[in-house]
Structure 1
Amino acid sequence: MKASATTSMQLGQSLQMTPQLLQSIRLLQLDGMQLDLEIRRILEQNPLLELDEEPVANPVPERADAATDVAAFDELPESSMWDVRGASWSGEDEDGLARIAAGESTDPHLRILQRLSTELEADALAIAAFWLEHCDDAGYLAAPHAELVETGCARLDCDAATLEAVRQRLLAGDPAGIAARDLRECLLAQLAALPGCVAGRVLARRIVEQALELLATHDITALARYLQRDEADVQEAVRIVLALDPRPAQAGAPADTGAVVPDVVVWQADAGWRVALNPAAAPRVSINAGYERAVAEGPAAAPMRDMLQEARWFTRGLSMRYDTLLRTARVIVERQAAFLERGEEAIAPLTLKDVADAIGMHESTVSRITTGKFLQTPRGTIEMKRFFAVRLDGANVSGAAVKAMVRRLIEAEPAQRPLADDAIAALLARQGVHIARRTVAKYREQLDIAPARARRRGARPTLLARAG
């Protein structure tokens, strides 16, 4: 019994996180403005630290022949190349940092997971994280439900019923409709979550279940005739449906505060891509050499020695943040070079695990360092999370790329002969992308595109417009 207690105590001690590790993790997950505030706070509290005038140096690339290289700050492109209001490569634009989005993460799935962390047990929370990992930005499953169930059961070592129970929890949660298979399931979940006895809810449910495409035509008379109900009742039920949110994951998103200061700069040079930290978003903090010698070598009081230790922890944690951010950005740019060159249809499948394996770190570290961090590219300022895309089942392309293909085909269709979903699926198959008609329908709904029948009439359904 004594030996067991000793083993238990040793195990508990081995799992404790040191203050240095906790601080490093915290620095990883701060966004640009939060980091600036944290540095200011530390400088005020610790007189041994000082802000350097020169920016932190970029690490030397691991492979000299790599197509993607890490640049020194003196090789950054001229600021005129980057049409980003509020960005400053010289660091003189002090209020640029104030424009960085603060508060909650811009990643909708992370916000939902943070709320669930106080409600679910660890196993259920891991399953919720799995479902959210495989949702698009609007909150819909990004791959077929059956495929995800099979993958989830294998990865999480649980049965299909347990996996589905957590998805149903997400569907019925706040916001309702998360992890829905399609628009219909999303709206039905939101109708079920409406409080109290809402007049017209039963009829609204019938419309969503049976007549969603007819609703897209905005023909209340035809809808009333189909449902065999009075037009006034149908009008009220339609009002309820149109008040629902077809993009539930975006509910409660932080307000857009305008331009941001990018954390990393990416540009093309010498037939390759260059990557560098933005000096305006990478302040360098160091320990005053004179103070450090005095404290380390002289008979300093305990509080001063503690300050020196904290100063060393902070500077190391800051260096770890910059190094991890740069290495992560380099892998993302290497994997998504085709997207940077050709656009959305070339975005490649990429997961947190792919990047974690490439840089030799845990997925949670990659998740922290990519949340709220931005890359300035020739295609605009893009949050690092946006470069991750789920692989389409049985193909070497991502769902995001296929969605862009669907949009291109519809934009190029004849005005009087719009393409039906099965026709789009057939055209994609000719390009080597094999997806079901229902998958085309899901992508079309997410892109703010009405069915072929409604497009022929020139209608633009309000509900689907909000879903895009």
Structure 2
Amino acid sequence: MKANLRIGITQGVNLTPQLLQSIRLLQLTAPQLEQELRQALERNPLLEQEEIEDEDAEEAVPEAAAVEVAAWDELPEPAFLSGGATGGGDEDATLRIADGESSDPRLRLLRELALHWDPADLEVAAWWLDHCDDRGYLERPLDELLAAARAAFPHRAGDVGLLRIRLLHGDWPGMAAADARECLAAQLRALPADASTGLAARILDQQMELLAAHDVDALAAATGADPGAVQAAVATILSLRPHPVQAPVAAEDGHIVPDVIAWRAGGGWRVALSSRGAPRLRIAPHCERALAGSDHQVLRGLLDEARWLVRGVNMRNETLLRTAQVLVERQAGFLDHGPEAILPLTLREVADAIGMHESTVSRIVSGKYIQTPRGTFELKRLFAVRLEGAEVSGAAVRAMVKRLIDEEPANAPLADDVIAGLLARQGIRIARRTVAKYRDQLSIGPARARRRAATRPARPSRQEYV
């Protein structure tokens, strides 16, 4: 065996305990931050709760804190942002930080896949997940995405389709499905095989229209099966999830504590951090003065810990406030006029506006809620993808589709091509299949089903039979 000596230079980030704590604080929601700070009050005698005299007063971030903000901006991006796993052999150290369950389903699934997928396959899986909507369906036609995937991974052009199939029949059956038929078929395949699932698979493959009409007799005639067996097969299909995205394992709280509050004042929108719950901490002045010249290791350690915590909370609050201000400024039209006025906005645009990295913006908005006169919702809702070939967002067009359907005559519902024509008159040119996609996302049936529902006579109540 021959020993070789190599000399090389590598670039990396030294994840100090202070930086790790700052990153963890950045990702905490309002209830989690409150719990963290109250535990720190009990654990560290050098900390005390600061009385808030002016809730609108803003604290400047210390200069040292700004340096640490720049440090965490250099950390590797999460896999769902970069489109793949981090390089360099070792896993991203930020993944070992204890935190709550992510609200992003793609990130939750990637964490599960990382346990048994190869890094190279995980990179392609992340690409497919980035092209899925929040329900887990592909955002664009399968043929277009296959061509784009082969261009993105030319060295694996023959594997990208197989890896989507592996996702489709993997940990979350139906993930990255092209349509509802493929999603439900993947979930059926994951069930134990019996006569009911076999008949259900035939119905999904050949009789989707009769299934949508819930016509058991017609299904029995078309499949040649007994009506009782058809009823059991339909019940099996109805027991499946309408979309593949799974909810987090952890139970959600029954209420939401907003992290940010936005309100109209003086002709514009104002933003402030919510002061409910989380205490404001500071280092007790008399303790800091007493330890100025002390070399007591335990007390000096407590003092350093208190300083790191106060500094990290200040950085977290400052970053959250600046991010929320940019989001509210860019989406003022949405807050004033509703979903139809939401503008295209990406993580990169917000990151450029506040002078930070996309990964920092992603961490600070994950799981955070904003309270507005229009309701309380996740900060992520203020991001919107630009509709291809247009200056509006897909979310705005989806809201327009919903409004047109809500306002349509009950006896003459609008077909998808008619809706596309009405939108074209407003300067928004989209295909009929795009209208159908948005209608499916809104859980609205086609024009034929809406007309049938409007003309179906109401069933008499039991009192009318008496």
- Is the TM-score greater than 0.5? yes
The answer for the alignment partner of 1:315 in structure 2 is: 310
1:269 counterpart = 2:265: yes
The answer for the alignment partner of 1:171 in structure 2 is: 168
The answer for the alignment partner of 1:211 in structure 2 is: 207
The 10-residue stretch of structure 1 (233-242 or 323-332) with the greater mean CA deviation from structure 2:
233-242
Maintained 8 Å contact 2:150/2:156: yes
Q: How does 1:34-433 map to 2 (within 5 A)?
A: 34-54=32-52, 57-58=57-58, 103-149=100-146, 159-194=156-191, 196-252=192-248, 254-280=250-276, 283-298=279-294, 300-433=295-428
How far apart in 1 are the matches of 2:156 and 2:421?
35
The count of aligned residue pairs is: 414
Change (3 A) 1:335 1:180: farther
Which amino acid in structure 2 is aligned with residue 335 of structure 1? R
The answer for the alignment partner of 1:81 in structure 2 is: none
Change (3 A) 1:413 1:374: same
How far apart in 2 are the matches of 1:200 and 1:364?
47
Which amino acid in structure 2 is aligned with residue 339 of structure 1? F
How far apart in 1 are the matches of 2:14 and 2:287?
32
The answer for the alignment partner of 2:13 in structure 1 is: 15
TM-score by length of 2: 0.80
- Residue 375 of structure 1 aligns to a residue whose secondary structure is strand
Which amino acid in structure 1 is aligned with residue 262 of structure 2? V
How far apart in 1 are the matches of 2:101 and 2:313?
21
Maintained 8 Å contact 2:31/2:278: no
Change (3 A) 1:306 1:332: same
Unaligned runs of 5+ in 1: 62-101, 461-468
Maintained 8 Å contact 1:104/1:254: yes
Maintained 8 Å contact 1:374/1:382: yes
- Residue 45 of structure 2 aligns to a residue whose secondary structure is coil
- CA RMSD for the aligned pairs? 2.9
- Per-residue deviation, 1:136: 2.7
How far apart in 2 are the matches of 1:253 and 1:134?
24
- Per-residue deviation, 1:15: 3.3
Match of 1:448 among 443, 446, 451: 443
How far apart in 2 are the matches of 1:403 and 1:213?
24
List per-residue Cα deviations over 1:83-115 (Å, max 9, x = no partner): xxxxxxxxxxxxxxxxxxx95333333332332
List per-residue Cα deviations over 1:327-365 (Å, max 9, x = no partner): 111111122111111111222222222222222222222
Q: Which structure is higher in RCO with an 8 Å CA cutoff and minimum separation 6? A: 1
1:437 counterpart = 2:432: yes
- Per-residue deviation, 1:280: 1.6
The 10-residue stretch of structure 1 (16-25 or 244-253) with the greater mean CA deviation from structure 2:
244-253
Which amino acid in structure 2 is aligned with residue 27 of structure 1? L
Maintained 8 Å contact 1:142/1:399: no
- Per-residue deviation, 1:370: 0.8
- Per-residue deviation, 1:238: 1.2
The answer for the alignment partner of 1:86 in structure 2 is: none
TM-score by length of 1: 0.80
- Residue 297 of structure 1 aligns to a residue whose secondary structure is coil
How far apart in 2 are the matches of 1:57 and 1:126?
45
List per-residue Cα deviations over 1:392-412 (Å, max 9, x = no partner): 222222222222222222222
- Per-residue deviation, 1:173: 2.5
Give % identity.
Answer: 56
